[in-house]
Amino acid sequence: MLDSLRKVLYHILNRPQKKNNVTFFGFHRGLQNVAFEGKNAIPDRCNFSGTIKIGYATTLGYNNLLGGTITIGKYCQIGADVAMHATNHPMNYMTTYINKNLFQGELKKLKEDKQIHIGHDVWIGHNVIIVGNVNVGNGAILAAGSVVTKDVPPYTIVAGVPAKPIRKRFSDKVVQEIEALHWWDKSEAELEKIKPLFFKDFTNKESIYE
């Protein structure tokens, strides 16, 4: 009986709620720190602090943690348990401790404030950690479990701890053509006109128009 009641309560509390063209599931903290562009999906247990912008149609994962000055582009997909830390404890002072238990928290002003910028159409795998300053280019893939501490070029796959480039997804010309297309800025009607391009396999191709 108790288990059944818990299941019912969980179902009720995790029903999707839509507000300003953003779909929310479960519980969150710090939503007042986020500017959403719309058509976003925010699952349970996401935590936000700082100044954060999330682009159109970008979806987050369960238990995401975003802290600091962070900009995420359009049409990105972010896996579960991803953390982005644009701030850091001070490392060049007597202590890294900035909690209010020491000097009533005055040392918090020594915290390092950096920035994380994620481009458009980026796929971030499960349990990735990103530590600023970091710029992730359009179309990049951050493999599951990676710790990203440096910039990631567009359309590049990175993996490991710390993350290193594995390979480019496409040839330089294909990358240039996709970047020039700026499909993420197009309306739904405009996207319908170029829809066939999204179903092409660009393996070993030198142009998206082949």
Mean pLDDT by 10 residues, the chain (210 residues): 61 72 92 96 95 98 97 98 94 90 91 94 98 96 98 98 97 96 97 96 94
Q: Both 181 and 158 in a single domain?
A: no
Q: Both 148 and 204 in a single domain?
A: no
Place of tokens 């903290």: 29
Looking at residue 164, what is its pLDDT?
98
Query: What's the alpha-carbon Rg for the chain, to the nearest Å?
Result: 20
Range of the domain at 90: 2-169
Active-site amino acid positions: 89
pTM: 0.90
Looking at residue 121, what is its pLDDT?
98
Q: Both 187 and 203 in a single domain?
A: yes
Helix (H), strand (E) at residue 67: strand 65-72
How many domains, in total, are found in the chain?
2
Looking at residue 203, what is its pLDDT?
93
Q: Both 88 and 188 in a single domain?
A: no
- How far, in Å, CA of 210 to CA of 208, rounded? 6
